């Protein structure tokens, strides 16, 4: 029909010996097929993926904001309650890369729909957990479902949307993530004001069921796009403890005091294990991160820049509440002002994504430039009045301009049949960026002689991260 576009999805037959393929035959038939996806169908696919994007960020922000209440409700210290978040992050970051590789062989739809099922059931388990140990276990299972969702989300979009419209579609997904990020603290406060902390997890159940049904009905089949590809189990066995040691080091650094000595030990372990991972990556016949991805300059530069930008985003989300709390602001005001940042991302990301389809490099660089300016303004003026939410909106505008353009570039640089692996890497660096940004923000803030000086030090360090990201883009 005139005026309509279509994407064609290839789905060749199954390679012999792929583990689990028989169990997935309902969602991903083995018979080769070509599916023409109309413009209306692509909109439905993007909308379905946005449900998972919204739910994942809502869950992350709603739980992080409620850790003190969780600690009181479970009768444990804040340190023990922190593992409710840390266990989730650790499992999520560790699984994103191997699941991305596996999805390219087994099928993105199967794992994505399975992710909704696991995440929903685990959320219900979190809501009825009798103690903190059970809650931590359920959060780890929840992270397995989140990894199945996140490793496939951008890949599902890139396989269904024509390349000339990919930026706008990725921008819409980024907007859904930003809305979830913004809604989390406000919704969490409302739920905690009306009932138990268990409501924080129950809220995921209806959203997850909607995603499960729409995913099964609307997502296209994309089975076995990388025939014969296997997950590198030896590389995975080295990668998981390396990530765990790195996250532990960053967590201990954020605590300060005597914990920083233990952080140095954990950091040394992370470096040693990281060396093992790199050595294996170079020598293995089929390493955990496919060489086609690790050697592509466009992907390497995009991952580095994305990692630094996520550090700036989540670092700002940590240091602003610290600064306002120390300045005597009320919790309700802190939540409202902090929401200005993801609102800026949500408004700009779809627009910037559309512009990135025509001028991707210029949009990405402009976004980082605006981000640096906003962080520099925060560091210089240390605002506590109306200037603060204004600068946070500007910061969101910058990040909302950069993220879809950068993600689009990485996905288009991925070799054929490796979109899920590339998407898994993108989401992995977001998890690592979250941990690094949090550590940088806390260390910078606590190093200052007072709240204003600490805020300036932290935001200046985050601005330096974005300046380094901009330099990386200029070399790409």
Residue 351 CB partners (closer than 8 Å, separation 6+): 171
Is a pLDDT exceeding 80 seen at residue 380? yes
> Which pLDDT value is given to residue 462?
97
Return the higher-pLDDT residue of 284 and 373: 373
Query: CATH code for 34-217+288-475?
Result: 1.20.1250.20
Burial per residue of 382-410, b for 16 or more beta-carbon CB atoms within 10 angstroms, e otherwise: bbbeeebbbbbbbbbbbbbbbbbbbbbbb
Is a pLDDT exceeding 50 seen at residue 300? yes
Ranges 21-30, 182-191, 339-348, most confident: 339-348
C-alpha to C-alpha distance for 367 and 401, rounded to whole angstroms: 5
pTM beyond 0.75, yes or no: yes
Mean pLDDT of 63-67: 72
C-alpha to C-alpha distance for 193 and 148, rounded to whole angstroms: 32
> Which pLDDT value is given to residue 170?
92
Mean pLDDT of 404-416: 89
Mean pLDDT of 230-234: 75
User: Average model confidence (pLDDT) for the chain?
Assistant: 83
> Which pLDDT value is given to residue 256?
63
pLDDT digits (tens, 9 = 90+) for 268-283: 999 999 999 999 888 8
C-alpha to C-alpha distance for 458 and 415, rounded to whole angstroms: 38
> Which pLDDT value is given to residue 461?
96
Mean pLDDT of 431-449: 86
In angstroms, the Cα distances linking 10 to 6, 64, 192 are 13, 40, 47
Is a pLDDT exceeding 70 seen at residue 164? yes
- Structural tokens at position 66: 């409620």
Q: Which is it for the CA torsion 161, 164, 168, 174, positive or negative?
A: positive
Return the higher-pLDDT residue of 135 and 228: 135
> Which pLDDT value is given to residue 65?
67
Pairing of strands 7-11, 33-37: antiparallel
> Which pLDDT value is given to residue 305?
95
Is a pLDDT exceeding 90 seen at residue 311? yes
Residue 185 CB partners (closer than 8 Å, separation 6+): 61, 62, 65, 335, 338, 339
C-alpha to C-alpha distance for 61 and 5, rounded to whole angstroms: 37
Instruction: Compute φ and ψ for 459, nearest 5 degrees.
Output: -70, -30
User: Quick one: pLDDT band at residue 128, thresholds 50, 70, 90?
Assistant: very high
Contact 216, 27 (CB under 8 A): yes
Is a pLDDT exceeding 60 seen at residue 107? yes
Instruction: Compute φ and ψ for 256, nearest 5 degrees.
Output: 75, -170
- Structural tokens at position 366: 């402009």
SS (H, E, C) the chain: CCCCCCEEEEECCCCCCCCCHHHHCCCCCCCCEEEEECHHHHHHHHHHHHHHHHHHHHHHHHHHCCHHHHHHHHCCCHHHHHHHHHHHHHHHHHHHHHHHHHHHHHCHHHHHHHHHHHHHHHHHHHHCCCCHHHHHHHHHHHHHHHHHHHHHHHHHHHHHCCHHHHHHHHHHHHHHHHHHHHHHHHHHHHHHHHCCCCHHHHCHHHHHHHHHHHHHHHCCCCCCCCCCCCCCHHHHHHHHHHHHHHHHHHHHHHHCCCHHHHHHHHHHHHHHHHHHHHHHHHHCCCCCCCHHHHCCHHHHHHHHHHHHHHHHHHHHHHHHHHHHHHCCCCHHHHHHHHCHHHHHHHHHHHHHHHHHCCCHHHHHHHHHHHHHHHHHHHHHHCCCCCHHHHHHHHHHHHHHHHHHHHHHHHHHHCCCCCHHHHHHHHHHHHHHHHHHHHHHHHHHHHHCCCHHHHHHHHHHHHHHHHHHHHHHHHHC
Residue boundaries of the structural domains of the chain: 34-217+288-475, 232-287
pLDDT digits (tens, 9 = 90+) for 8-55: 344 444 444 434 434 443 444 444 334 434 677 888 889 999 999 999
Is a pLDDT exceeding 90 seen at residue 182? no
> Which pLDDT value is given to residue 24?
40
Nearest to 327 by CA among 453, 206, 458: 453
> Which pLDDT value is given to residue 270?
93
User: Quick one: pLDDT band at residue 5, thresholds 50, 70, 90?
Assistant: very low
Return the higher-pLDDT residue of 187 and 225: 187
Q: Which is it for the CA torsion 379, 434, 157, 364, positive or negative?
A: positive
- Bridge partners of 10? 34
Among the ranges given (57-71, 303-317, 371-385, 436-450), the one the predictor scored with the smallest mean pLDDT: 57-71
Mean pLDDT of 221-231: 58
Among the ranges given (77-86, 237-246, 434-443), the one the predictor scored with the smallest mean pLDDT: 77-86
> Which pLDDT value is given to residue 273?
92
């Amino acid at each position: 029909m005139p005026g309509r576009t279509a994407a064609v999805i290839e789905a060749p037959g199954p390679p012999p010996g792929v583990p689990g393929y028989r169990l997935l035959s309902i969602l991903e038939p083995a018979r080769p097929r070509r599916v023409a996806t109309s413009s209306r169908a692509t909109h439905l696919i993007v909308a379905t993926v946005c449900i998972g994007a919204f739910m994942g960020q809502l869950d992350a922000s709603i739980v992080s904001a409620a850790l003190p209440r969780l600690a009181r409700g479970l009768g444990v210290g804040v340190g023990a309650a922190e593992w409710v978040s840390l266990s989730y992050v650790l499992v999520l970051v560790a699984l994103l890369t191997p699941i991305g590789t596996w999805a390219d062989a087994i099928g993105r739809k199967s794992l994505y729909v399975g992710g909704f099922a696991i995440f929903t059931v685990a959320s219900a388990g979190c809501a009825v957990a009798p103690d903190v140990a059970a809650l931590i276990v359920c959060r780890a299972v929840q992270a397995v479902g989140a990894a199945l969702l996140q490793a496939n989300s951008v890949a599902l979009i890139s396989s269904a949307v024509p390349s000339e419209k990919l930026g706008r579609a990725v921008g819409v997904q980024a907007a859904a993530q930003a809305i979830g990020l913004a809604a989390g603290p406000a919704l969490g406060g409302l739920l905690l004001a009306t009932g138990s902390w268990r409501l924080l997890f129950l809220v995921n159940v209806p959203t997850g069921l909607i995603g499960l049904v729409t995913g099964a009905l609307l997502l296209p089949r994309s089975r076995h796009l990388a025939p014969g590809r296997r997950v590198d189990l030896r590389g995975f066995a080295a990668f998981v403890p390396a990530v765990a040691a790195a996250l532990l080091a960053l967590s201990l650094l954020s605590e300060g005091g005597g914990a920083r000595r233990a952080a140095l030990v954990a950091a040394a372990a992370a470096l040693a294990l990281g060396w093992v991972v790199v050595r294996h990556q170079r020598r293995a016949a089929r390493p955990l991160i496919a060489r086609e991805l690790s050697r592509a300059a466009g992907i390497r530069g995009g991952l580095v820049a994305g990692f630094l930008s996520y550090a700036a985003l989540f670092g700002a989300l940590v240091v602003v509440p610290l600064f306002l709390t120390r300045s005597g602001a009320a919790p309700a005001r802190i939540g409202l002002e902090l929401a200005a940042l993801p609102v800026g991302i949500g408004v700009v990301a779809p627009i910037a994504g559309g512009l990135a389809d025509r001028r991707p490099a210029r949009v990405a660089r402009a976004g980082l430039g605006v981000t640096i300016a906003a962080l520099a303004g925060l560091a210089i003026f240390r605002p506590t009045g109306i200037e603060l939410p204004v600068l946070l909106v500007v910061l969101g505008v910058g990040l909302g301009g950069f993220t879809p353009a950068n993600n689009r570039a990485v996905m288009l640089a991925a070799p054929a049949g490796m979109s899920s692996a590339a998407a898994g890497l993108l989401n992995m660096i977001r998890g690592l960026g979250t941990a690094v940004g949090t550590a940088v923000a806390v260390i910078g803030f606590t190093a200052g002689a007072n709240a204003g000086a600490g805020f300036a030090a932290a935001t200046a360090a985050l601005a330096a991260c974005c300046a380094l990201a901009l330099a990386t883009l200029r070399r790409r």
